[in-house]
Amino acid sequence: METVTVRAARARQLVGVAFGLAMLVIGIGLEPRLAGWIAIALGVVGLVAGVGGIVPGAAYLRFSPAGLTVKYAFLPARTVPWPDITAVTSELVPMIRHRLPSLVVTYADGYTGPILGQRLDGSRSYIGNFTGERGDKLAATANEYRERYGAGPAEPSEPADTAEPF
């Protein structure tokens, strides 16, 4: 299997840019008040996140023989080798008022390396789906790579004793 890279969805990122610009305009209009400063802060976050997703190579999800790699805009890429991943599923992760479609990565027992996305619990983390692909398709692709590259070579089994008794 070759390396497959899934990039950020441009339409979603353009919505982030539009939201950021709108919040900046509202914030500048309300500037002397606290609400104006909050709107400016939200605008800057939305603008940076949106622009980061539009720039080619700024955000992606990569499946390769080396492992699963996640790159968010303006953050370094992180890769976890397939043997350290026991499962990848597509789930709706509960947020404050809604559920976010995400890839949930379950790590092998005792794994202490870097995690992908944000920590969900002790052995799992989630990656918000910022791509245009369906979550179940991404999870299926991840599990194909995990099955192919995660188990490593099979251990040779002991030869069976097939001799006839005397």
Gyration radius (Cα) of the chain, Å: 22
How much is the pLDDT for 13?
Answer: 65
pLDDT band at 55 (very low <50, low <70, confident <90, very high): low
Among 58, 57, 116, which residue's Cα sits nearest to residue 85?
116
Q: Are 34 and 42 in contact (CB under 8 A)?
A: no
φ/ψ of 119, rounded to 5, equals -65, 135
Within 13 Å, how many C-alpha atoms sit on residue 5's CB side?
10
pLDDT band at 36 (very low <50, low <70, confident <90, very high): confident
Q: Which two tokens stand for residue 35?
A: 């609400």
How many whole angstroms separate alpha carbon 58 and alpha carbon 125?
Answer: 21
Domain extents in the chain = 74-149
Query: What is the percent of the chain with per-residue pLDDT over 70, rounded to a whole number?
Result: 80
Write down the number of H helices and E strands in the chain.
3, 8
Q: What is the pLDDT of residues 63-112, one digit of tens each?
A: 999 999 998 877 889 999 999 999 999 998 887 788 878 899 999 998 99
Higher model confidence: residue 138 or residue 16? 138
Q: In sequence order, what are the beta bridge partners of 80?
A: 68
Sheet holding 124-128, edge to edge: 85-94, 99-107, 124-128, 118-121
How many whole angstroms separate alpha carbon 143 and alpha carbon 158?
Answer: 29
Within 13 Å, how many C-alpha atoms sit on residue 133's CB side?
21
Asked if pLDDT for residue 44 goes beyond 80, the answer is yes
